[in-house]
């Protein structure tokens, strides 16, 4: 998983929030497609970016609902830490794939 652009804090976040079940496949050749639901833009991304984008979209909806909705995304999420974790995931995508960030999240 070691990507040069990621800090130890980024890697800790990935392990805690994006790969807590250990099932994320970090193989270099594996890619996933993600689509912007508004523009229709589709981008191929690596497993870390795909997991981060999925997390971002789930947290965005859950933050508008309730703390229980956040807990359904991840048991350690709550209203007091949702924004910082949402932002951490966004910054990881930005660091790893600026094109995907611009097309899907910006």
The 10s digit of each residue's pLDDT in 77-86 is 999 999 999 9
Q: Average pLDDT of 12-27? A: 85
CA distance 105 to 65: 20
pLDDT(103) > 80: yes
Asked if 13 contacts 55 with a C-beta cutoff of 8 angstroms, the reply is: no
Report the greatest alpha carbon distance in the chain: 38
pLDDT band (50, 70, 90) for residue 29: confident
pLDDT band (50, 70, 90) for residue 104: very high
pLDDT(1) > 50: no
pLDDT at 49: 94
Residue 14 structure tokens: 């990935």
pLDDT at 46: 92
pLDDT at 28: 67
Please report, for the chain, the start and end positions of each structural domain, with discontinuous segments joined by +.
Answer: 8-105
């Amino acid at each position: 998983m070691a990507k040069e652009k990621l800090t130890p804090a980024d890697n800790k976040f990935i392990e805690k929030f994006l790969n807590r079940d250990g099932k994320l496949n970090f193989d270099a050749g594996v890619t996933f497609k993600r689509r912007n639901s508004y523009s229709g833009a589709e981008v191929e991304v690596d497993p870390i970016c795909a997991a981060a984008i999925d997390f971002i979209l789930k947290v965005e909806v859950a933050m508008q609902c309730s703390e229980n909705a956040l807990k359904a995304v991840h048991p350690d999420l709550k209203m007091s830490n949702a924004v910082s974790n949402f932002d951490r995931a966004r910054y990881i995508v930005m660091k790893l794939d600026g094109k995907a960030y611009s097309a899907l999240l910006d």
